[in-house]
């Protein structure tokens, strides 16, 4: 068969494949940018609820005063032995139980309605920093630039919820 009689075989040229890959990349970039950002306040509030529950369980298990000490608006420590400077052991890392709102929780702030300390006695009763039982529900407001969540600690029972 000479050159003039050959038929073109089916397939894509390299140029066509490159153009399709570039087009798919551009469309993907546009779609990803249109996805809403995941609210950080909700995830941070759920972690705080878990950490407060851990502090309460620690107080009951060790039969000592334990709780949460808010170091500042972006960090807190779970403590034991009624000493806010005595961090509990983090069951996950084995180190000091201190949480800083950085990395995945950057731009998240915490505001407590009961001061900088929430304690639990050996029965799990929630107390403020001066060892007075909470007279009303205590709240911690967890805020990111777009969202706000509230963590509530009930008086007497110490039930912790997030809304």
Contacts of residue 134, defined as CB under 8 A and 6 or more positions apart, other chains included, come to 114, 126, 127, 128, 153, 154, 155, 156
- Note the pLDDT of residue 134: 87
Residue bearing tokens 């009930």: 154
Is the pLDDT at 32 greater than 80? The verdict is no
pLDDT tens-digit map of 50-96: 999 999 999 999 999 999 999 998 889 999 988 888 898 888 888 99
Is the pLDDT at 106 greater than 60? The verdict is yes
Is the pLDDT at 6 greater than 80? The verdict is no
CATH 1.10.760.10 fits 40-162, yes or no: no
Contacts of residue 69, defined as CB under 8 A and 6 or more positions apart, other chains included, come to 76, 77, 79, 84, 116, 117
């Amino acid at each position: 068969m000479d050159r003039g009689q050959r038929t073109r075989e089916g397939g894509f040229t390299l140029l066509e494949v490159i153009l399709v890959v570039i087009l798919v990349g551009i469309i993907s970039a546009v779609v990803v940018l249109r996805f809403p950002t995941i609210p950080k306040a909700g995830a941070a509030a759920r972690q705080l609820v878990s950490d407060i529950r851990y502090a309460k369980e620690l107080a009951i298990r060790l039969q000592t005063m334990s709780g949460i000490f808010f170091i500042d608006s972006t960090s807190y420590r779970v403590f034991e032995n009624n000493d806010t400077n005595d961090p509990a052991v983090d069951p996950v890392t084995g180190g000091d139980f201190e949480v800083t709102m950085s990395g995945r929780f950057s731009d998240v702030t915490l505001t407590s309605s009961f001061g900088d300390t929430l304690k639990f006695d050996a029965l799990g009763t929630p107390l403020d920093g001066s060892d007075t039982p909470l007279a009303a529900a205590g709240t911690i407001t967890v805020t990111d630039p777009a969202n706000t969540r509230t963590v509530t600690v009930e008086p007497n029972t110490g039930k912790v919820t997030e809304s």
